[in-house]
Amino acid sequence: MAKIRVVHYINQFFAQIGGEEKADHKPEAREGFVGPGMAFNAAFGDKAEIVATVICGDSYFNENLETATKEVLSMISSYKPDLVIAGPAFNAGRYGMACGTVAAAVKEQLGIPAVTGMYIENPGADGFKTKVHIIATKNSAAGMKDAVAAMVPFALKLVSGEKIGSSAEEGYIPNGIRVNFFEEKRGSERAVDMLLKKLKGEPYVTEFPMPDFDRVPPNKAIKDITKAKIALVTSGGIVPKGNPDHIESSSASKYGKYDINGITDLTEATYETAHGGYDPVYANLDADRVLPVDVLREYETQGKIGSLHRYFYTTVGNGTSVANSKAYALAIGKELVADGVDAVILTST
Q: Is the peptide bond before 88 cis (omega within 30 degrees of 0)?
A: yes
| Residue boundaries of the structural domains of the chain | 4-170, 225-347
CA distance 289 to 279: 13
Query: Do 137 and 143 touch, CB atoms closer than 8 A?
Result: yes
What does the angle CA 297 – CA 303 – CA 306 come to, to the nearest 5 degrees? Answer: 75
CA distance 218 to 216: 6
CA distance 23 to 65: 14
pTM of the model: 0.72
Q: What's the CATH number for 4-170?
A: 3.40.50.2300
Judged by average pLDDT, the poorest of 65-69, 204-208, 230-234 is: 204-208
pLDDT tens, 29-70?
999 999 999 999 999 999 999 999 999 999 899 889 999 999
Percent of the chain scored above 70 by pLDDT? 100
**What are the distances in angstroms from CA 92 to CA 19, 68, 89?**
12, 18, 6
pLDDT at position 1 is 66
